[in-house]
Amino acid sequence: MLLPNFDPAPTAVRIHRIGYVSPCRARNCQMRATLVAEKVDTAGRHVRQIELCPLRCQIVIERERNSGLEICDRRNE
């Protein structure tokens, strides 16, 4: 019997501005987060998210793009 695939491997990262106060989740970063990187799977379902300051967010974007994930930048929407 073929088992359903429950592996939530993310395939895209959406970048949003956040409307709430949160510290940056990057290690050793004291900045306030203004963005959130939300990983989604092929069906567009939420996998996980991380609040980030603009600097760390840019690092995450570069890293995820290099690992083959699609970047959906919605910072200006």
53 counts as binding Zn ion under rule CB under 5 A? yes
* Residue number, nearest CB to Zn ion: 24
CB of 27 to Zn ion, least distance (A): 9
29 counts as binding Zn ion under rule CB under 5 A? yes
**What is the size of the binding site for Zn ion (CB under 5 A)?**
6
Convert 14-45 to b/e letters by CB count within 10 Å (16 or more is b).
bbeeeeeeeebebeeeeeebbbbbbbbeeeee
Q: Which is nearer to Zn ion, 44 or 54 (CB)?
A: 54
Binding to Zn ion in span 58-77, by CB under 5 A? none
Q: Tell me if residue 28 falls in helix, strand or coil.
A: coil
List C-alpha distances in Å: 38 to 12, 34, 49. Answer: 8, 13, 4
Binding site for Zn ion (CB under 5 A): 24, 26, 29, 31, 53, 56
